[in-house]
Amino acid sequence: MFSIKFKTTEELPEPSSRLIDQIIGQDEALNIVLSAVKNKRHVILLGDPGVGKSMIVKAVGELIEKSPSDDFTPYTIIAKPNLKNPEKPIVELIEGSYKEDIEDIKPKMIRQPPGLLTLMLIMVFFTLLTSYLVRGLSQTYLLAVVATTAIVSFALAFVVVFLAMFGATRGAMSNTVSPLDLKPVVLYECKKRPVVRASAYNVTKLLGDVRHCPLGGKPPLGTPPHKRIILGAIHEAHKGILYVDEIKTMPPEVQDYLLTALQDKCLSISGRNPNSSGATVETNPIPCDFILIMSGNMDDINNLRAPLLDRIDYKIILKNKMDNTQENRDKLLQFIVQEIKNNNLNHMTYEACCEIVRIAQLFAGSRDKLTLRLRKLSNIIKMANDIAMGKSIQEIVEELSGRENTTKEEEKEGKLKSIIEVLKIGERNKKREESKDKGVTAAKKVYIDVEHIRKVIESGIYSMSKQVAIDYLREFKRYKHIVPNDTPKIGVIYGLAVIGSDGMGDVTKIITQIVDSKNPGTHLLNISGDIAKHSITLASALSKKYISEGKLPLKPEKDIDLNRKEIYIQFSQSYSKIDGDSATAAVCLSIISALLEIPLKQDFAITGSLDLNGNILAVGGINEKINAAREYGFKRVIIPESNMIDVIDDKGIEIIPAKRLDEIIPLVFEYDNKKYIKQ
Ligand code: ADP
């Protein structure tokens, strides 16, 4: 299995701590990204979730960080008020760090707020006024009144000065600007080449914004515009890398801004919310000269506008599987060791590592391949670790089903991870407590073993789609009457399907009935998807063609007039949506059986799609389908010959490869010599 022998992963060498060495199976993409970054080119990474898109960017960022390049000069971005046009604050990029310059706050000399002098004048004025008004009163009383007035006028003067200082009365105080308001603010200090990550939907984070200053809110009313500027990720990534993920969520106008930023290498910031006081503010263009790396799933690229896409030099597709070679199995082992170390998990036995390889094959859909959707594998390893730590599946599932309201699978998987984290800590503490109680200093070593991984896989907790499929099968299986038997039947055959994207295989009973009618045609029952409909039209045409051209080694009892036959095809007891063409071979055989009135054997299930020449073509989910056939008790399953390389497990079931439809006729029909012509 692996080139190295071991009992547990404990014996294996420590994984490298450099992220770049931890990436497996994506060498090509990684090299292109490295060269693109070196040559300052923009890149888009496309691929399935969890194949390492962000990991590649992080690794490149780490490399840049650790090997500071010669041509980078640290810089600081500061914002200053614009005295002529306050709504247009000035943002400047200065080399090195910002040192406060007396020049910056000089205008305070011109627009000095009322200071001590004003305060004293107000006091004197009020005191004199009061003394004049109360001049007829007794000495003591007079003194008391004058003292009170002095205190009140002092307080009043203080309030006036205070308000003026903080700008709240700037309008009323005419042209008064506080020195605090004049002080430039440092928006961003960049000491090393930056790698900044932002999600495409987070417009403020991506492009920057200007804060609203509400009455009684934060920042306080009157905060000058330059203090309300929020720098965007595009600006923070100046001279470095901007990584934008989730590209399918990027609004078109944001794409336009991004395009402008790429073209002009600078972009101003303005208030994004039209209802906010920030909306009237706009800065000068701020430098943003960055290398753009975007990522998303394959289909997400449709969301990007052509001009932006045209600006991206490299469009890289990440692989979702790799060949199942010893070298790659070793890489998968390296991945397991990394996950154990990075997530602080228990070590794994050799057999459990082999099981992970088997799951990698299963997820890749073939014995010959290993999946590179490694986030999914990583989650499975973590959950197996939790089970090894003594957490029951029931507990994990219960925690999970307590959170029904989310629909997104990714979100659920995220939550699942955090639940697992919590469980893990709880469990560890519990174990520690237990060992303390027993006076045991070192608790018995726990290893992740095959049974723990199998529990995760069988329960399906690593994937919502799998759990739905398991629930569905649990619910409906008891109503289904699918029992392999030795009584041949006309027009009845067992096909195979897969439910859900991470799904489970299922057996479907296909029944064809023929009636003589003046309106010949084919009717489909319980079929929803277009592909399925087309494939069945094909099956129907093909079966008629076979019969009319006498191409089958079967002959009908009597002559049949195909022009007078009305065909009904039913996917019986199929409770899920059927779409796909993998039932074409089964349907075709079922129609032939019904038309020729020759019974089909009932001890096998079949999957395979057909082309117009009767060749049986490969289908997806072959292992899930074989598994389903085995679980329903079938002893034989017919699959396309080209799928044989994909079969992972053939225990307990005979797998019959088929290349052409006519070649399997002798295997599936219950004929006597009269009806069968040897060709
Ligand atoms: P993506 O951005 O493609 O959705 P990530 O880079 O976020 O995927 O990968 C998530 C996790 O899965 C990583 O932190 C790592 O543990 C694991 N992983 C994914 N791809 C790889 C890979 N090619 N090599 C090693 N680990 C990987």
Q: Is 498 close to ligand 1, i.e. is its CB under 6 Å away? A: no
Q: Is the domain of 568 the same as that of 651?
A: yes
Q: How many domains does the chain have?
A: 4
Average pLDDT over residues 50-73: 85
Question: How high is the pLDDT of residue 234?
Answer: 95
Q: Is the domain of 409 the same as that of 521?
A: no
Angle between helical axes of 350-364 and 450-459 (0-180°, round to 10): 30
Active-site option among 227, 321, 391, 625:
625
* Of 153, 176, 199, the domain-final residue: 176
pLDDT digits (tens, 9 = 90+) for 145-202: 778 877 887 787 777 666 655 544 444 345 455 666 778 889 999 988 899 999 888 8
Compute the distance from residue 503 Cα to the ligand 1 centre, in Å. 22
Please state the ipTM of this predicted complex. Answer: 0.99
Domain membership of residue 382 (yes or no) is: yes
Q: Is 328 close to ligand 1, i.e. is its CB under 6 Å away? A: no
pLDDT digits (tens, 9 = 90+) for 387-432: 998 876 667 666 666 544 444 455 555 555 555 555 555 555 555 5
Query: Which residue in 235, 248, 297 sits closest to 54, CA to CA?
Result: 297
Q: Is the domain of 236 the same as that of 285?
A: yes
> 675 vs 365, 551, 558, CA distance in Å?
40, 14, 10
Angle between helical axes of 530-548 and 661-668 (0-180°, round to 10): 80
Tokens of 2: 């692996």
pLDDT digits (tens, 9 = 90+) for 218-254: 776 778 888 888 999 999 999 999 999 989 989 998 9
Q: Is 296 close to ligand 1, i.e. is its CB under 6 Å away? A: no
Inter-residue long-range contacts of 622-627, CB under 8 Å, 24+ positions, other chains counted: 622/365, 622/646, 622/647, 623/362, 623/365, 623/505, 623/647, 623/648, 623/649, 624/498, 624/503, 624/504, 624/505, 625/496, 625/497, 625/498, 625/505, 625/582, 626/505, 626/650, 626/653, 626/655, 627/504, 627/505
Name the pTM for this structure: 0.74
Compute the distance from residue 261 Cα to the ligand 1 centre, in Å. 29
| Residue 582 annotated among the catalytic residues of the structure | yes
Q: Candidates 374, 385, 408, 413: which one to mutate for ligand 1, based on the most atoms within 8 Å of Cβ?
A: 374
* Of 318, 333, 348, the domain-final residue: 318
Tokens of 482: 């699918």
Q: Is 374 close to ligand 1, i.e. is its CB under 6 Å away? A: yes
Q: Is the domain of 438 the same as that of 331?
A: yes
Residue numbers of the domain that contains 168: 112-176
Active-site option among 270, 574, 582, 590:
582
Contacts of residue 124, defined as CB under 8 A and 6 or more positions apart, other chains included, come to: none
Secondary structure class of 106 (helix, strand, coil): helix
Q: Is 54 close to ligand 1, i.e. is its CB under 6 Å away? A: yes
pLDDT digits (tens, 9 = 90+) for 592-627: 888 888 899 999 999 999 888 889 999 999 999 999
First CA to last CA across the chain, in angstroms? 46
Domain membership of residue 58 (yes or no) is: yes
pLDDT digits (tens, 9 = 90+) for 492-504: 999 998 887 777 8
Question: How high is the pLDDT of residue 83?
Answer: 82
Compute the distance from residue 55 Cα to the ligand 1 centre, in Å. 6
Q: Sign of the CA dihedral 515, 521, 526, 527?
A: positive
Q: In the block, which residue shows the tokens 């760090």?
A: 97
Q: Is the domain of 295 the same as that of 339?
A: no
pLDDT at 569 over 50: yes
Judge contact between 54 and 295, C-beta under 8 A: yes
Domain membership of residue 656 (yes or no) is: yes
Average pLDDT over residues 71-82: 89
Compute the distance from residue 417 Cα to the ligand 1 centre, in Å. 15
Domain membership of residue 644 (yes or no) is: yes
Q: Is 51 close to ligand 1, i.e. is its CB under 6 Å away? A: yes
* Of 278, 303, 318, the domain-final residue: 318
Q: In the block, which residue shows the tokens 């349907």?
A: 587
Domain membership of residue 79 (yes or no) is: yes
Q: Which residue has the higher pLDDT, 572 or 374?
A: 374
Average pLDDT over residues 194-219: 82
Judge contact between 326 and 273, C-beta under 8 A: no
Compute the distance from residue 22 Cα to the ligand 1 centre, in Å. 10
Judge contact between 24 and 331, C-beta under 8 A: yes
Q: Is the domain of 389 the same as that of 491?
A: no
| Residue 625 annotated among the catalytic residues of the structure | yes
Tokens of 83: 């005295």
- CATH for 75: 3.40.50.300
Please report the atom of ligand 1 found closest to the CA of residue 23: 24
Compute the distance from residue 378 Cα to the ligand 1 centre, in Å. 9
Q: Is the domain of 304 the same as that of 325?
A: no
Tokens of 130: 């009061």
Q: Which residue has the higher pLDDT, 677 or 573?
A: 573
Q: Candidates 339, 375, 378: which one to mutate for ligand 1, based on the most atoms within 8 Å of Cβ?
A: 375
Average pLDDT over residues 32-59: 94
The rounded distance, in Å, linking the Cα atoms of 295 and 376 is 18
Q: Which residue has the higher pLDDT, 427 or 350?
A: 350
Q: Is 53 close to ligand 1, i.e. is its CB under 6 Å away? A: yes
Question: How high is the pLDDT of residue 165?
Answer: 58
